[in-house]
Structure 1
Amino acid sequence: MADQSLRIVEILEQRIAVVASAQEVLVAWENIPFTPPQDKPYLRVFVLPATTQSLDFEAKAQTYRGILQVNVIAMSGNGVGESRSLAQLIADEFPEGRHLPDGELSVYISGQPTIHPGIQDRTSSGPTGGSGSISYTIPISISYRADY
């Protein structure tokens, strides 16, 4: 039986791409050069798989679980309203119980998405001696499961 981990990543990332495109929001994908917009929020996406577990003694049925981590990031000084609205929209697109089918494999959202409090990013020293925050991030954690 082939491992389905990468296929699950693709299914989840495809759904994020559809949502981001519909909202005209940029996504900073893994290992792809990206210049953050200065005037509006963007997304950074990570799929964090847990250890795959066998459901039977013959290891014919596997359970894949993990977290889809979506960070809404805005440049510091742009306020929180637009970022919070975008975080809620992302959470609403992944309600508990939602199925994301792809042939024989179906990924489903196994818990209510959690929108965490915003995080003010590190401070930096400017060339003139000034310092300030670089960005503001609202993390959204979305639990998923796929049985195959």
Structure 2
Amino acid sequence: MSNKLCRQVIESRLAAWAAAQTPALPVAWQNVRFTEPAGTYLRAFLLPADTGSDDLAGVHRLYRGVYQINVCAPINAGPGEAEKVAAELAALFPNNLQLPATDLTLQVISPVSAGASAQPEDRYVLPVSFRYRADVT
């Protein structure tokens, strides 16, 4: 199942970038225990679509989906910090970026886009996402 490889390829790039920030930017990964910090952090999600096959032999596999990163910033400080991080994520995952891995190459197939922000009680949340695909033959 290459959804696992798609996740690993994207998340290894995101993790390295987040760790290199000053201060490091914590990331809440799916199904991993996480304690929310007081400052800005990221919450990451792999949202796979149906697996496809584009050849008559049924050998080809097309893995595609959306990768969403919620930028969670302190409340009552304006959108500036979250928008700054969103812009940096857009530079980290540019359209047509190819990320090679064993058994597949993942390609970002859309620009990073920001969605509508949300404001739960204690956070300003700006979702950003991009579409990806990986072909395996």
Q: Same fold (TM over 0.5)?
A: yes
- The 5 Å alignment of 1:104-123 reads 104-121=103-120
Task: Give 2:26's aligned amino acid.
Answer: L
> What is the distance in 2 between the residues matched to 1:34 and 1:63?
32
- 2:83 corresponding residue in structure 1: 84
- The one-letter code of the counterpart of 1:96 is N
- Alpha-carbon RMSD: 1.2
Aligned equivalent of 2:68: 69
Alignment partners' CA distance in 1, 2:32 and 2:96: 31
Pairwise CA distance, 1:32: 2.1
For this pair of structures, how many residues does the alignment match?
134
Counterparts of 2:33 and 2:59, CA distance in 1 = 39
SS in 2 for 1:72: strand
Q: Which residue of 2 aligns with 1:20?
A: 18
Task: Tell me the alpha carbon deviations over residues 20-62 of structure 1, each in whole angstroms, 9 at most, x when there is no partner.
Answer: 1111100011222222121x21000000000000011211111
CA displacement 1:89-124 (0-9 Å, x = unmatched)? 011111110011013310010011111232112xxx
In 2, Cα distance between equivalents of 1:66 and 1:113: 13
- Which amino acid in 2 is paired with 1:100? L
Residue number in structure 2 paired with 1:5: 3
Which structure would you say has the larger Rg? 1
Match of 1:136 among 107, 124, 136: 124
Unpaired runs of 5+ residues, structure 1, are 122-132
Percent identical residues: 36
- TM-score with structure 2 setting the length: 0.92
